[in-house]
Structure 1
Amino acid sequence: MTGDPARTWAVLGTGAFAQCLLRGLAHRPERVTTVHVIGRTGQRARDVAALATGHGTLAGTQVSFVPHDAGPAPTERLRPLLRSLRPTLLIVCASPQSPSEARTRDSDWARLLRRAGFGATLPLQAALVRDSVLACADASPGTQVVNACFPDLVNPALHAEGLPVVCGLGNVATLATATCARLGLRDESRLSLLAHHAHLSAPDDLRDEAAAWLDGAPLTELPKVLDEVRTMPRAFLNELGAHSAVPALHALTDPALSYTGHLPAPHGLPGGYPVRIDGSVLSLRLPPGMSRAEAVAFHREREHLDGVRLGEDGLLRLTPGTHAALRAYGADLPAVFRPADLPDLSRELLELRDRLRQTCSSSPPDQKEGP
């Protein structure tokens, strides 16, 4: 075991979100003394850890960032690593599929993602999170798992399979932080925002928009505020989301600290919510007159925006448009499947991705390119 478990965290991933999170921790470590940075290559992990260490030096803090090489298949080395480190938190910031690919590339795979919606990548987003929860249960039962990869749907799907994830990061927290900045609010406790991952972009139908309350009263100008927020580059929004996660993570692991803000998928609920953390206990902080069931229903009614729904029966259902887009590009995925099917579907999607990344046709044979 390395260090004091109560002050030891681990971050799985070395991408942009993980880097921002680590920089935030370097400047605000609180009682955390060691953060283990787990990357797919040793050099990448060392570089990212060194960057975070540099920020800690600038901030005058004492947190230590320790790199670890997990290799190209991280789950193979995760169990022995967790058994050795026993961190309080494992924060998953890595998946086989980057959310930015649909926006930044022009292969047939990128075209498929644009047509099908982000929910089509659910099996890929869930892969490392699922493996991480299983690895912790086996090798480090005291470690809590927090997920930054499409938590709005990944976390509920894993909970339906009996695999607990405490909460997610980003998404609603990102939008809440940016909204408070636009409104000039210094205290996020005045804002209650219900927002799904899909609300990072404006919905086609205003009835599908996020909802917010300011000081308990409906925030009627929310669509206008969010329109302004959404003009920010996605990388900037991700940075806000990563930094906003730091005080929430501290409150989860230190009973002396508290947090009032927003998090996606607390305790496996779909979508993002206003929350409070006191004594390391995470609870909802809903606007006056709204029940937990009503808040969950709000998000279930908007899951279609990402192209996949999780029913109360525990089954995942692709929307007709998403399923049709996948079939048009050669994906033989069922329209309805169980959370336990996600690993097999992930392997199928990876094989399809390998093929489609090599091509750059204008459209599949049976589907025209949209506007």
Structure 2
Amino acid sequence: MSTVLVIGAGDLGERLAAGLAAHPGVRRLLLAGRSGPQVADAVTTVLSSHDCLVEPVRLDALRVEDVASLLATSRPDLVVQCASRRSPWELVGRDDPVARAVAAAGIALRLPYQLAVPHAVMRAAREAGFPGPIANLSLPDVTGPILAALDLAPTIGLGNAGVVLLRARAAWRAAHPDAANTPLIRVVGHHAQVFDVMRADPPADPARRCRIYLDEPGHRDDDLAYQAPGLAPGPRYNHVTAAAALPVLTALLPDAPPLRWSAPAPHGLPGGYPVRIHDQAVSLDLPEGVTAEDAIAFNQRMSTGDGIDHIDDDGTVHFTPTCQEAVADIAADIAEPLPIADLAARAARLDDLLQS
């Protein structure tokens, strides 16, 4: 019976905590967050719904020493990192010039909000000598390779490629209503492609579509990713993200059966890939004839859709010309190269702009 630590008590953190608490292999669940009342409400909801020990933890996950201490004392079998400085949905519904420009630049421009917490958590894990798996929900397709450059990569990311997998499965089932089983479906794709998949709006250029592989031989059917009913962007996507994440999390528990799935950033790779999870270890599960080098190169090309031009060996992020142009008339400095050491200062600069 396992102990799981979930860091982040927002909407998705609570959803994942509830899903894990319902699993028979989880005996004890720690739900940690900065806001005491929010954590208490989430814990009460989960423990009232499932036969699992659920405990609240007040934690500022940006404080490396506090996270390291929690890991050392609680000794979880699995850590789920769901926290960020700000929600990626925060700009939804805003129509002011600054919000429009920042949104148009791509989600990578808001990396100071999405990277700071997983960076602190992974530093804490190294400091505490934590040996178990860590799954990261905070923009893993982009934060994963940055952290990998620092030798701090989480075990795996959550959502994104798994969301595409679920959408492709839904489309396949609709086309084959009498089939007894859904075939093996494997996805190579990047977070930058997920919104088109959710809206059922395939890119005009077939080369920029997610790669979908069917059955063991890996027959390509990329259109399948875009054939489920469309859904406009918004927090409702969290339902699908949680559904895509939970099989990965339960497969990472001790003594869990093996799982073949698709997920972002295994060991810090850019974008998402088919994976095998067994004995709390993650490996690529690419179809025969598809090399890791080709899949990685594809995802690196797709990352421009999020505003990423390239990432230096020291983790410094360089933004695309399109990203830079989007904010040139608002604040050109926020699209300058972003070193890890500048995360806090760049986050404060974004706060000033978005709250003015």
Q: TM-score, normalised by structure 1?
A: 0.84
The yes-or-no answer on 1:198 pairing with 2:192 is yes
Correspondences of 1:160-309 after superposition (within 5 Å)? 160-184=149-173, 190-202=184-196, 205-206=204-205, 207-215=207-215, 216-222=218-224, 224-225=226-227, 228-231=228-231, 234-309=234-309
Query: Match of 2:340, as an amino acid?
Result: L
Matched, 1:328 2:329: yes
What letter corresponds to residue 142 of structure 2 in structure 1? L
What is the identity, as a one-letter code, of the residue corresponding to 1:24?
G
The residue aligned with 2:17 is 22
Q: Distance in 2 between matches of 1:327 and 1:282?
A: 41
Q: Give the structure 2 partner of residue 342 of structure 1.
A: 340
In the TM superposition, residue 66 of structure 1 has moved relative to its aligned partner by: 0.6
Q: What CA distance in whole angstroms lies between the structure 1 residues aligned with 2:229 and 2:194?
A: 9
- 1:108 CA displacement: 4.6
- Tell me, in whole angstroms, the C-alpha distance in 2 between the residues paired with 1:157 and 1:177: 27
Match of 2:75, as an amino acid? R
Task: Report if the CA contact (8 A) 2:61-2:121 is conserved.
Answer: no
Corresponding residue number in structure 2 for 1:106: 95
Structure 1 residue 210: deviation in Å?
0.9
Q: Once structures 1 and 2 are overlaid, which stretch shifts more, 267-276 or 69-78?
A: 69-78
Distance apart, 1:189 and its partner CA? 5.8
Shift of the alpha carbon at 1:71?
A: 4.6
Deviates further, 161-170 or 303-312: 303-312
CA displacement at 1:296 relative to structure 2: 0.5
Equivalent AA in structure 2 for residue 342 of structure 1: I
| Pairing 1:51–2:45 present | yes
Q: Does the residue aligned with 1:257 lie in a helix, a strand or coil?
A: coil
Q: Report the Cα offset of residue 20 of structure 1.
A: 1.4
Q: CA deviation at 1:324?
A: 2.9
Pairing 1:138–2:127 present: yes
Between the aligned partners of 2:157 and 2:204, the Cα distance in structure 1 is 26
Which segments of structure 1 move beyond 6 Å, counting only runs of 4 or more?
none
Residue deviations 1:349-369, cap 9 Å, x none? 32223322334xxxxxxxxxx
1:87 alignment partner in structure 2: 76
Q: Is the 8 A contact 2:155 2:266 kept in 1?
A: yes
Q: CA deviation at 1:329?
A: 2.1
* 1:137 positional shift: 1.4
Offset of 1:307 from its aligned partner?
0.5
Mind listing any 5+ residue stretches in structure 1 that lack a counterpart? 1-5, 57-61, 360-371
Could you tell me how far 1:128 is from its partner in structure 2? 0.4
Give the distance between the partners of 1:204 and 1:354, measured in 2 at CA: 33
CA-CA distance at 1:76 after TM superposition:
5.7
Q: Root-mean-square deviation (CA), in Å?
A: 2.4
Q: Which residue of 2 aligns with 1:117?
A: 106
- Judged with a 3 Å threshold, the aligned counterparts in structure 2 of structure 1 residues 223 and 254 are, in CA distance, closer, same or farther, namely closer
Match of 2:66 among 77, 81, 87: 77
| CA gap 1:52/1:158 in 2 versus in 1, 3 angstroms | same
8 A contact 2:78–2:252 mirrored in 1 = no
Whole-angstrom distance in 2 between the partners of 1:186 and 1:325:
49
Judge conservation of contact 2:212–2:225 (CA < 8 Å) in 1. no
Aligned counterpart, 1:35: 29
1:15 deviation in Å? 1.2
Q: How far apart are the structure 1 equivalents of 2:180 and 2:346?
A: 43
Aligned to 1:369: none
Equivalent in 40, 43, 68 of residue 57 of structure 2: 68
Compared CA separation, residues 86 and 129, structure 1 to 2 (3 A): same
Q: Which letter maps to 1:262?
A: S
**Contact 2:2/2:77 (8 A) holds in 1:** yes
Q: Residues 318 and 173 of structure 1: is their aligned pair in 2 closer, same or farther, counting only changes over 3 Å?
A: same
Moved more, 43-52 or 216-225: 216-225
Please state whether the residue corresponding to 2:95 is helix, strand or coil.
coil
Aligned length: 342
Runs of 5+ unmatched residues, structure 2 = 174-178, 197-201
SS in structure 2 at match of 1:273: strand
TM-score normalised over the length of structure 2: 0.87
| CA contact 1:155–1:165 (8 Å) conserved in 2 | yes
Secondary structure of 1:46's partner? helix
The alpha-carbon deviation at position 233 of structure 1 amounts to 5.3
Please say if residues 250 and 257 of structure 1, whose CA atoms lie closer than 8 Å, have aligned partners that are also in contact: no
- How many angstroms apart in 2 are the aligned matches of 1:303 and 1:222? 21
